[in-house]
């Protein structure tokens, strides 16, 4: 019976309270996450693992580890940027609604920040604190994730355009950008998978050679020419992966 009452109470909670509870849970989970490995640590680990294939294997392992580290860092930046844009868009929606209701920008920012998610929370708190003391909001936002809000604020103050209308246009633009980014990443999943498969083909070729008795590993690990070819192959594979990632990033630039 107590479990049923607890479930009913949770269902009856307002959406804002539920969102805050989720935010608290998210902060607790983030505390349990391990720190991401440093680039040098990953490179040294790759070099140590590749040392079993000789000096050339160690160099190839370091190059491969560095490429994988950069790829994961770039993907993480893309996800973080998309999440930040989404949070700011949702925070702007509440902020604009408060402004249209007649609230002062400082009070509107405080109200919108209560249910916002990072980094929108920090942006709205900066707006609230700066606007409350009559400071320059444009300057305060110049070094945050919401530089476009600073330009909107300047446009409103210089030309007398209602702040709510300018911010609504910014919100619409951010929403379109977010929608395009989601569509782009979904459509690029296939080409990215193809690039990964093509990069792995030389490894499968070496394994196939071992299965057929050709002994390519012996050539690569025990001869000077093989060591050079191992390094050259790793350089070409890593360069191909980096170039492929560069091409996909240019589409969204």
Average pLDDT of 38-66? 92
Block residue for tokens 């240019």: 250
Which token pair is 121? 């929370």
Total Cβ atoms within 10 A of residue 12: 8
Whether the pLDDT of residue 227 is over 80: the answer is yes
231-249 pLDDT, tens per residue? 999 999 999 999 988 887 7
Q: How confident is the prediction for the chain on average, in pLDDT? A: 81
| pLDDT category of residue 12 using cuts at 50, 70 and 90 | very low
pLDDT score for 191: 84
Is pLDDT above 50 for 205?
Answer: yes
> Which tokens sit at 143?
């070094």
Report yes or no on whether pTM surpasses 0.85.
Answer: no
Q: Can you spell out the DSSP letters for 33-47?
A: SPPPPPHHHHHHHHH
Residues 6+ positions from 219 with CB-CB distance below 8 Å: 225, 226
Residues whose CB is less than 8 angstroms from the CB of residue 241 and which lie 6 or more positions away in sequence, other chains included? 67, 71, 195, 196, 199
Cβ atoms within 10 A of the Cβ of 138, count?
19
Task: Give the H or E element holding residue 151.
Answer: helix 147-159
pLDDT digits (tens, 9 = 90+) for 137-191: 878 887 666 777 888 888 888 888 888 899 999 899 999 988 988 888 888 888 8
Q: Does the pLDDT of residue 48 top 60, yes or no?
A: yes
CA separation for the pair 105, 124 (Å, rounded): 10
Give, in order, the Cα–Cα distances in Å from 61 to each of 98, 100, 148, 244. 55, 58, 42, 20
134 vs 132: CA distance, rounded Å:
6
Which segments of the chain are extended strands (E)?
none
Best-predicted range by mean pLDDT among 1-15, 26-40, 134-148?
134-148
Convert the pLDDT of each residue in 85-132 to its tens digit. Answer: 899 999 999 999 999 999 988 899 999 999 888 888 898 998 899 888
Can the peptide bond before residue 119 be classed as cis, meaning omega within 30 degrees of 0? yes
Report the pLDDT value the prediction gives residue 250, as an integer from 0 to 100. Answer: 63
Domain boundaries, the chain: 42-81+187-207+216-252, 85-185
């Amino acid at each position: 019976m107590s479990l049923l009452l607890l479930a009913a109470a949770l269902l009856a909670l307002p959406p804002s309270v539920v969102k805050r509870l989720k935010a608290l849970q998210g902060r607790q989970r983030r505390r349990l996450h391990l720190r991401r490995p440093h680039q040098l640590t990953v490179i040294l680990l790759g070099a140590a693992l590749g040392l079993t294939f000789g000096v050339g294997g160690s160099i190839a392992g370091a190059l491969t580890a560095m490429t994988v580290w950069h790829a994961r860092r770039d993907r993480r930046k893309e996800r973080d940027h998309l999440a930040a844009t989404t949070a700011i868009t949702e925070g702007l929606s509440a902020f604009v609604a408060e402004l249209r209701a007649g609230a002062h920008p400082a009070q509107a920012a405080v109200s919108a920040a209560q249910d916002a998610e990072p980094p929108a929370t920090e942006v709205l708190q900066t707006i609230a604190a700066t606007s409350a003391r009559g400071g320059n909001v444009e300057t305060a936002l110049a070094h945050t994730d919401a530089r476009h809000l600073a330009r909107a604020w300047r446009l409103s103050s210089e030309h007398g355009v209602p702040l709510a209308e300018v911010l609504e246009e910014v919100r619409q633009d951010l929403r379109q950008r977010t929608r395009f980014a989601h569509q782009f990443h979904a459509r690029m999943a296939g080409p990215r998978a193809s690039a990964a498969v093509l990069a792995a083909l030389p490894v499968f070729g070496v394994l196939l050679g071992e299965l057929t008795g050709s002994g390519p590993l012996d050539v690569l690990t025990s001869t000077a020419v093989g060591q050079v070819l191992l390094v050259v192959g790793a350089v070409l594979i890593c360069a191909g992966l980096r170039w492929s990632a560069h091409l996909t990033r240019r589409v969204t630039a």
